[in-house]
Amino acid sequence: MRDPLGVWSSGTLDVACQIVHMQPLAHGTLVDLVTLEPCDRGRARVPAGTPVTLAFGADPSDRARSNIESTMTLWDTTCTTLQLHVGNAPEGLRYHFTGGDLFLTVLVQDRPDLSPN
């Protein structure tokens, strides 16, 4: 997947968070989260309550996008506390969400100069 909305990010993150807004768009999915605990993001210490915006994109008929949106919608409507781990991958970032009995892993190509696989 590519980040179609230009919300480029980098570095690792491991934090409890909650979805405050999830919006399917014509060319991707926008997810706004808020951290529920302090955490480290690169060299910076991020306090609890920090907003984090993520963008995931795929072809609108793609099964991966449907899975992202249905899982995120369930977590959003049930106010599920999520554990988010973001790690570096060869061409971008790997997002691993865990909430309740569900998990979701998304690999995002986060550099616009790389072509999709």
Q: Is the pLDDT of residue 36 over 90?
A: yes
Instruction: Confirm whether 85 is domain-assigned.
Output: yes
Secondary structure element (H or E) that encloses residue 69, with its range: helix 63-77
Burial (0-12, 13-18, 19+ Cβ within 10 Å), 70: exposed
What is the span of the domain harbouring residue 36? 13-109
Share of the chain above pLDDT 70, in %: 79
Q: Which residue has the higher pLDDT, 21 or 87?
A: 21
Instruction: Confirm whether 31 is domain-assigned.
Output: yes
Instruction: Confirm whether 8 is domain-assigned.
Output: no
Instruction: Confirm whether 6 is domain-assigned.
Output: no
Residues 102-108 have a mean pLDDT of: 89
- Give the pLDDT confidence score for residue 10 in this predicted structure: 55
Q: Is the pLDDT of residue 4 over 50?
A: no
Please state the pTM of the whole predicted model.
Answer: 0.79
CB 82 within 8 A of CB 98: yes
- Of 1-5, 25-29, 36-40, 62-66, the least confident: 1-5
Instruction: Confirm whether 24 is domain-assigned.
Output: yes
**The total number of structural domains that make up the chain:** 1
